Structure 1
Amino acid sequence: MPASVNVPINSRGKLASSLPAEQLAEIAELFEYRREGFSLDAPFYTEPAIFKIDMQAIFGQHWLFAASVAELPEPGDYVTVDYGPYSLIILRNDDGGVNVMHNVCRHRGARVLTQPAGSTGNMVCGYHAWTYSPNGDLIHASAPGETKFDKSCFGLKRAHGREYAGLIFVCIADEAPTDFDETAKVFEPYLVPHDLPKTKVAYQQNIIEEANWKLVMENNRECYHCDGHPELACSLFPTWGLTEGLIPQHLEAVWDRSKEAQAALEERCRRYGIPYEVFEELDTRVAGIRISRESLDGDGESFSADGHRLSKKLLGDLPDFRLGRCSMHLQPNSWFHFLGDHVITFAVFPINEHQTLVRTTWLVADDAVEGDDYDLDKLTYTWKQTNLQDKEFVELCQNGANSPAYEPGPYMKSEYQVEAFINWYVQRVQEHLA
């Protein structure tokens, strides 16, 4: 069950203006005639009007991964999350749950908290010192001559918050989708052994990619391009996503090795009672998910050049470092790697139609000591390099979408998860437009 539930009060922000009916009809037609198995038409990646719809239909209606509990370990700890026109405060309350509030002062709209993270008691707007309690109630707004001011009418607007297995999710819709609890029941058994509440942040990286958020997500949902990740390919089998009959000749030996490693991993998981099976419903439920536990190359422990562990401290009550990676994809904005020695979370936050913030956070056991138990540069090296490479790839795609010569191209069989993501996206937007 979730650690807390916040009830929103008029939480869905209204964008500045509705789209003209003619333009909305043209956009609806683009969605209606989207060609299955092909990339989207250029306007999906370039047009501000479609980005505006994405903010309403996707980021304004669905559950988003926002942070981990390691980022909010104590009451009063907070993070701020910005995407599109929205800014949210996620604050750990005294009961151990989370309060989620729009980061917009009810006086004249100033940002209340201006730092990406910190710790606070009451929240004080830096403009006119309007002061809010940790649950968003307005408790101070004194001004000369104001005698009949009703502070109870001007608390911060609330949003929904959920915490599952150490991951925090938010939703700003008036009525959040109700199926997320069912999706959480799927992934919690995979994640609980890693015990995220007993982890700490080793490092967090923020990269702005000059590309539409959908291109960022599409890139993540396939490994067709993984030859472009030499550091990652040392431990992650570049045959991920392939099946018999799709293996190129130069990867046949790698494919055979990956099957042997996977069989050994599954035997260990059965012995320890740790789930490993593939569960995949990326576009057949509102809260789309794929999760599985998959082998790594080399020692099979972590994302290093030889697959050996990068931290000496096992997470939670895991019995063995040789547990590969538990990989999870959640629609619409996140993916994760849970290993025996550390966890990596990835969150995607759109900025505008051609810029996206990708936030990567490395978590280690809370008693792991930097310099003794792990080397920070080695811990983060593989995915820092991979993120920079992915940034170049998606920016190449954005440049292409901007060209008059662009037209949608076919997805390959190994890119079926990209098609599933796009199909999920199109379904959700069409539901919203209807």
Structure 2
Amino acid sequence: MEKIAELLHQYRQGKGLPAAFYTSNEIFKFDVEQIFKKTWIYVGVVSEFKKKGEFRVVQVDNNSIILVRDEQGDIRAFHNSCRHRGAQICVTEKGNVPKLVCPYHQWVYGLNGDLIYAGRMGESFSCKGNGLKPVAIESIAGLLFINLSKDPSYADIEKMKTDLAPYVGFYQLDRLKVAKEIDIIEKANWKLVVENNRECYHCNANHPELLKSWPPFGAGFGWPDDPREAAAIAKKIDEAYAVKRPLWDSMGMTHEPLDLTADRWYRAMMMILENGALSQTMNGELACKKLLPGFTEPDNSDLSMWTHFNSWHHFMCDHVVTTMAIPISESETLVRTRWLVHEDAQEGVDYDLDNLTHVWVQTNDQDRWLAEINHAGIRSDAYQPGQYSEETEGLVMNFIGWYIKQLQSGI
């Protein structure tokens, strides 16, 4: 704790963090305890749980968590640990089951977590009070968040629901399906993964596929150095929004920017895709012919939304790309991306899987490489925190400021 306090004292606003914040196992453990076990973290989407009994397991540090749709249609979360002797109950990552059965001694739990059978335990034993230990779970218009704290604060998630549900709700995630899910392991500290996502300073040099449709300037990502070029781009953006806002209003879309504040750790920005693109594909054409519910014709919008430390999402007229980041160690981070399409869309008819996923498969791999060379360089004895660009890295600075506050509150 003294080491962390000293490192916090060394931190200078506007600069990067001292190396130990990225490389120290002690600080990594503190990050997990103070942030990932106390704050609401994004873990999945309602589209994964179409039927009663559908489950998946999410690992957060030492905690294996079962997410499952119960008999009443609600999505529940439980610790994946039998109340008998602690064995894991779900030993596969996902599936569909009528009951949750411990493979060790066959204790049986309902989909609501209640223990309903425990053989040969004697008359003095009662199933009541021996159900699976629940984990707090909340849905924001279909985006699923859990909180591992024994006494979670619901004020944060309720405020987030109020702010974000109007944006996300339009896309009706309960009527979508997961077309593809891809995991990658980035050999970099989780904060570097997030920092990289919070700026587009690196985009022009590193993301050719993404920039076929994604605007590299504005929306908090900075402007070109040439004032005349910057002014021309800003004018073009303003004119485009002036045309789109009435249309979005008529469709019932919430679209006004929801930006970061001192106490708001999430952001929603309605972007307009570049170069006449209608979707994030290599040719800018639709990735899926069957539009999402709510759209009667193609639209060149992209609702870009993220939460400060473990998720980012893109909602378009034909598909959704949603990504979460979960730390594994001080030098490894799981990045899981899902591509969602209309539940009635057919692969090979309405969409080609490679075309649907190509842009973000490439972009994620490029970001992986950038985070990894960043992490490797920080391990150098020569590293010292450098100055952030207020013009292009303001969102990174905001994330670091939020992170510092979380650590300070735990000391």
- TM-score under structure 2 length normalisation: 0.93
Three-state SS of the structure 1 residue aligned to 2:7 is: helix
Structure 1 segment 175-254 matched on structure 2, within 5 A: 175-177=151-153, 178-227=155-204, 228-240=206-218, 241-243=220-222, 246=225
The structure-2 alpha-carbon separation of the partners of 1:393 and 1:256, relative to structure 1 and needing over 3 Å to count, comes to farther
Letter matched to residue 186 of structure 2: E
In the alignment, the residues of structure 2 paired with residue 320 and residue 411 of structure 1 have an alpha-carbon distance, to the nearest angstrom, of 42
Cα offset, 1:153, TM superposition: 4.1
Structure 1 stretches of 5 or more lacking a match? Answer: 1-23
In the alignment, the residues of structure 1 paired with residue 320 and residue 16 of structure 2 have an alpha-carbon distance, to the nearest angstrom, of 31
Moved over 4 A (4+): 243-260
Match of 1:85 in 2: 62
Match of 2:263 in 1: 284
Letter matched to residue 77 of structure 2: V
In the alignment, the residues of structure 1 paired with residue 237 and residue 257 of structure 2 have an alpha-carbon distance, to the nearest angstrom, of 16
Three-state SS of the structure 1 residue aligned to 2:81 is: coil
Match of 1:55 in 2: 32
Three-state SS of the structure 2 residue aligned to 1:238 is: coil
In the alignment, the residues of structure 2 paired with residue 387 and residue 74 of structure 1 have an alpha-carbon distance, to the nearest angstrom, of 30
Structure 1 contact 205–359 (Cα < 8 Å) conserved: yes
Give 1:429's match in structure 2, choosing from 386, 407, 411: 407
Letter matched to residue 65 of structure 2: L
Structure 1 segment 342-381 matched on structure 2, within 5 A: 342-381=319-358
Give 1:333's match in structure 2, choosing from 307, 310, 313: 310
Structure 1 contact 63–169 (Cα < 8 Å) conserved: yes
Match of 1:121 in 2: 98
In the alignment, the residues of structure 1 paired with residue 255 and residue 12 of structure 2 have an alpha-carbon distance, to the nearest angstrom, of 34
Percent of counterpart pairs with the same letter? 39
Of residues 388-397 and 423-432 in structure 1, the stretch that sits farther from structure 2 once superposed is 423-432
Letter matched to residue 141 of structure 2: A
State the Cα deviation string for residues 39-73 of structure 1 (Å, max 9, x = none). 11111111111111111110111111111111011
Of residues 76-85 and 315-324 in structure 1, the stretch that sits farther from structure 2 once superposed is 315-324
In the alignment, the residues of structure 2 paired with residue 247 and residue 237 of structure 1 have an alpha-carbon distance, to the nearest angstrom, of 17
In the alignment, the residues of structure 2 paired with residue 127 and residue 51 of structure 1 have an alpha-carbon distance, to the nearest angstrom, of 33
Cα offset, 1:259, TM superposition: 4.7
In the alignment, the residues of structure 2 paired with residue 305 and residue 379 of structure 1 have an alpha-carbon distance, to the nearest angstrom, of 9
Match of 1:10 in 2: none
Match of 1:169 in 2: 145
Letter matched to residue 274 of structure 1: M
Structure 2 stretches of 5 or more lacking a match? Answer: none
Give 1:159's match in structure 2, choosing from 131, 135, 145: 135
The structure-2 alpha-carbon separation of the partners of 1:282 and 1:201, relative to structure 1 and needing over 3 Å to count, comes to farther
Structure 1 contact 105–111 (Cα < 8 Å) conserved: yes
The alignment yields a C-alpha RMSD, in angstroms, of: 2.1
Of residues 193-202 and 107-116 in structure 1, the stretch that sits farther from structure 2 once superposed is 107-116
In the alignment, the residues of structure 2 paired with residue 336 and residue 112 of structure 1 have an alpha-carbon distance, to the nearest angstrom, of 31
Structure 1 segment 253-332 matched on structure 2, within 5 A: 257-281=236-260, 283-285=262-264, 288-332=265-309
Match of 2:82 in 1: 105
In the alignment, the residues of structure 2 paired with residue 247 and residue 291 of structure 1 have an alpha-carbon distance, to the nearest angstrom, of 28
The count of corresponding residues between Structure 1 and Structure 2 is 407
The structure-2 alpha-carbon separation of the partners of 1:324 and 1:55, relative to structure 1 and needing over 3 Å to count, comes to same
Structure 1 contact 282–290 (Cα < 8 Å) conserved: no
